[in-house]
Structure 1
């Protein structure tokens, strides 16, 4: 499909009415979402009018949380709209991945802002739902799809009585009736979306649309789960059946959310998940304790300072404490100036305090010191419980000794709390419930010389035999953790963990930690049987550390170096094949081979798979980079490494390659200044292996490594990477993943070779090669995923 002024990259989404493409607006080089109406609908004036109306409405709305329109037009039989390209997906996509309560509040606040602006301009959206809430790359929520929007006057003056427009699960009661609506209907729909973001389901469900509408009209407002009870008043006002009982405009929703968040500015979003429903109350108490303690300490410090500086000495009295004086000025309103003078009234503290005895002074000082120590101890206990029980944001920066001390304090508090609990009452025979309504009791009756046992029926009453419900059986939980010194905690209960701890059936949040290892967390379900969980913590990768994996027969695999996670600007604005430049974020650290794969490395693979060793062009084998290998040969090699070592070997992606080639530097090369003696290339490098008359490979490691301890990222041999080659970076992944497409005819190579000039070995330089052919100037290196 061709539309003048646009270069279409790929399809993003498709619906019954239109298809959305990612395209480049050539006049300004901007990525846009090109919405093209289905040609089959052109004959229907209703659809054409709706398509045109969407563009006209959005064109009049200018707001950061409303999608922007750049162009509208028609080419041949295609109606199209060019609008913001929103790469962050929809709210529906985010809900499938899981949203925190903080994220749900933020999205609701941003869409309420957008609705307030639209309503102020006189437009009602009429179709608020998760699919119509999209996100920019910075995660800003954006309201889209105004295809069924109406002006307030039009929506209030229905042309067809009873016409219902919208999505049943998100319709307001008045919208479901087909009655006139205003902006408060959109706020009701936003409340439904808010409920769905918190709980994962819509509030009212049924098989038929009419049954859903009836529930919107008559069913009570649903209750949120306990951990979200704080938000119930907000939901109640959003989902009120009568419009007059709801928020009257979006700005009121925003103000309510901001007020709600005012008490939670310093909390972690995780505290609002189901990990610990009582955490909000705990943190509120902690905050109150700290504020109260601060006030008490300030008061004590002021009193202590006054006490220190109140002592006096005179020859007549000797050492004494000067009393605290409160001075009150009283002015009269007499007729004369004489009577209008100020009267000073001094009120001294009791006379006994003027001349305190030495024991009294010592006692007062001791009491002040004791109270200060108690207050500081309470603050330490509160902080220790917060550090040990929760993932507070500043925990990573706390010294290890403080963290250990807080764990000891927390364990001590837990033991004190457990010892203070009253013991469970023992069940006696008298507590056993009767087996029938009346109990039979045998008593002795003496008649003459004979003793006769008679059975007397004793009626029982509830007060005599109270029913006792046996507690549910407990299940033992054991966590076998390595390393041996790993600490195990159960985050959502108070009791400290110990092997074989008996727990009631339910869900438990397990945390295993150890210094130098990644933290492990998992929710487990205790049901009918005892549970034994085995956890092996993974060492935290140390950037710059090197290692190798053993191959069969005790041989060593390639030497690997760990590269840290990070972000960088990929590409170069002055190079057509390396533009546009874009930010790439590599979320996890990974390991890359320090050197290009050598003939010695490749020979292990060739012998194991019974394939001939590639030709070396008589330049030498051993420690020289392997050449004359195709992209598929390189893929076969990493597959063999994966199978042999059981580690996640693969080829690097283009983004990863450029990231570790740059090694945190900003220029075109990792070094500063001249290329001389820094790389093996034909011109500009002053290499002993390549010059204007001849070129050959150098043994790996001949030239210096970059700051990441990686050798030969410039020159020597170009390197195969995973990506399918494209002559631009339009739509390139921002997470460092590889570019793939069906029937890929060319693969990317990076880094230049011994036949390149120094300028052609820059970090951003890229080339393409046939993946089925081996080249004498192309080799490769490998990557291992650590996560």
Structure 2
């Protein structure tokens, strides 16, 4: 059973009061997680190949499980409904505040709007600016028209019209209209009906049953909202299992293109298109004529089994089967689009067509009735003439005939035979009649006994028996019934042994008996009941196998049950249960395998990856978290007290050692000033575990009487302080030195990169892939791109647009947080392309020299969020992406 059917079952259970709201939410979330898990590989494949596999409409990136839409109205794609990735079955993932009119926990359909040739993604810098601007203008114009049609369609409230709920367009560039979802499994479209019937046409009453409600819906939209459908076809009309008609497609046509006429060559002289009023650039009356024209095409197709475009000559010259000449004249007016001959009122067109069809039929029926009356009168007159003629003949010759030919009451006497011969013949006749009476009594006696022996005794009279055929047929019937009874009795014995003793061989034998009975007596009701009983027995065996953990054996038993009774309701429910059990087993096994792989690697990154993949379904979550605690960096953390007794920044002790500073020539995104060389840290030092926070810096400004620093409205407390110049950062470190009695300063460039790399040689301390950085660093990502269009970003979401509270992301192998991303950090080393600054000694401002700034910030692209990346700024420069962290020298 698919995901949407299971969600619908839960909705029905909630409506019936079988489960409460909390249980409904819990089960629904489980099903959505299952969908996401089953669609993960497909969605990942679509994302990884998006640069090379995007089709001309930019739709190849869409996949089941993907979530699209603006933040206030997110929907999850479930199933492609039109095989072109433009119409999808979806389920809302937005909370109550984001729901729109008509939405709830049921399914919705969405129609995506993309113009031909549009490919979503970053703009090509090589493309001419004027051409780009023209493309954007065309795109916006197209969306404005589409949105206008959709918003107009949301006003339609008619029982036959599929509801349109609204227009949505997020920063992910997927504009769509949201509509009521009508499940085609709960009905049949007109297109399906026409395909099933093939070239066989439909009766006029069937045509009316399907199309009169459609005409009423078209007239409602025209009269109440001046809205034309402009996309009416057989796919847009659905007959539900409840017998109601549903019309879809109002306002969601991607492009409004005029249809090709059928009777253009046969239009009456003087017919011209109307130009009064416009709907999306199409004349108003012409748009409504287009709907009537589409309706006429459907009438023609239902009557003939062929589309009017496929049979244009026939459409012009021949009356469709079952249609009267007068009705054909009315239908031709509907097919005369775009001429003014074509009506604009759909309901009146169908009424005129029906009236013409039925009035002509009544006249034809009345003609036949009159013909029958005249025939009856003629027959009666002939009878009267015959009777009169016979009477006249009797009156002329009847008396003479009665005198010459005496009446006979017995067998006619043969004048050539003697009286003795005549008497012997009469005796023979009497004997024959007596024999026939005896034969009849013998057969009736055999029928009363109704046994093969009785009929055999009767047949001993043959060849003088008159009921031989009946007797032999009765014998065959009795023998047939005896065979049937034997097979039934055998089946009962075998199936009872199968049910009670669980003997599989008895089940197979019972099935053989049932098959033999079906061949011997087709249509025998016992066969159907026996099949159900036998299938239920195999279902019970399947459940027993599943209870023992033998799912493979359970599936084998279900396969046997399905071969006997594929429509068994219990079979469907048990099959769904087994599939869920398989999914659960697969998830559990995948979880166990993933944890085993993490244990083999025994690294923090491996355990983090395990916890990310399994989410809430982690069976081994506690073990993984314990392993992460065990593998935490061993570096000692120290914290000095200030004069007022409060604590200073947390510091991580970094041991002395050597490393390769800069980047290798093959590193992606490197700059020329990152020449790789061996550097040495000769003395251990302590560096801030976090970037200096607003809470820490505000304590300094209060203590020294300085004005507070602006936070741009992003928040203070644990967020990194911003808008800090080099001089202000140094003054803060001098104040810490005074307060604690230890030497505090800014880190040198060499100390900073040594601490950031924490023993790694990759371009970032988590590896070389920037798209894995959202768990480790706050930088330009897909969250920020919603606001800053045109960003080159990490293809992931880190949950923040601007600065994030320090410690939000994973630390490096020294236990330091935000060494990359969040804010750029001042160092106390002068910038030089060849790394001329001392490794562990600060430099003071000098002339126009600039200080090195490291680490990248919340708005930096992936290239600038690397361990070797270098920036520089003058000591008085400050901005909203610039902060710092401190170093404390150790004895």
TM-score, normalised relative to structure 2: 0.26
Larger Rg: 2
Structure with the largest fraction of strand: 1
TM-score, normalised relative to structure 1: 0.29
Structure with the largest fraction of helix: 2
